[in-house]
Structure formats: C-alpha cells, structure tokens
Amino acid sequence: SYLFSRYYDDHRYAFVQTVMIGVVAALLLLYPASVNMYTVILVCAGWGLAIMAFQVSFQAELIGCVSAAAMAIFSGIFNLGIGCGTWFGGTVYTKISLKDIGFAGGVIVAVATLICMARFRVGDKAESAS
C-alpha cells in the first residue's frame, strides 16, 4: 500500500508493469528457490507484495475507467482467477509434476503481462492524442 501511494500516481504504467513482472518472477523462481526454506519464504513474500500491489493498482485503473459498481465484477473475476488457478495447478501437478507448477503459472502470467502492457500503451497513446 505504501509503494502504491508513493509511486502509482506519478509512474502509473511503470508501476503496473513492475508489479506484473514481479508476479511472473515470483512464479518462475518458486522451483529454483525450493533448495532452501528461507528462499521460498522470501519468494513468497515478494509474490505477496506483488499481488497486493497488483490488486490495488488494477482497482484504481478500473475505478478510473468505469463506475464503482464494476468493482463487484472485478472481485468476481479475481475470485474466478483464483479458482481457475487452483484447477490449473492441480492439473499441472497431476499430469506433469509439482516442480513445474510455478513455471506453468509463470508462462500464463507472462503472456497476460505482454497483453496488458500492449493495451496500456494503446490506451496511453489514445489519451495523449486527445
């Protein structure tokens, strides 16, 4: 929350990009960090920080674009993502292996990050032109 309040307004796109890259990094580092309990704790703490910053920044984006009533939809979509992530992680665990869950999730989040950043750039150019 401190990082959001300090950096989001002045560096909106960079903040969102950094947060999403942080989620990707945390997922991709889960397996390498598994060599030591303390490195896993450190990665999970970074993951939690990135997810919390993701949540507040995308809430701010949504409220800036549409009415506050849309927050209920955002919350539902966020919960759907949690449920689908659980299903996907269970499928990866069953069909592939436990050690690959972070890599599989990291690929999905990396693709979502690329799509999000492309959309942000398009939106930023449209705002600048008007």
Q: Cα(43)–Cα(33) distance, rounded to whole angstroms?
A: 7
Structure tokens at 108: 């999905």
How many Cβ atoms sit within 10 Å of the Cβ of residue 57? 20
Query: Can you state the angle between helices 101-129 and 70-95, rounded to 10 degrees?
Result: 150
In the numeric block, the tokens 């920080």 are attached to 49
In tens, the pLDDT along 70-81 reads 777 878 888 898
In tens, the pLDDT along 25-59 reads 999 999 999 899 999 999 999 999 999 998 888 88
How many Cβ atoms sit within 10 Å of the Cβ of residue 59? 17
Residue of 105, 68, 76 whose CA lies nearest to 90: 105
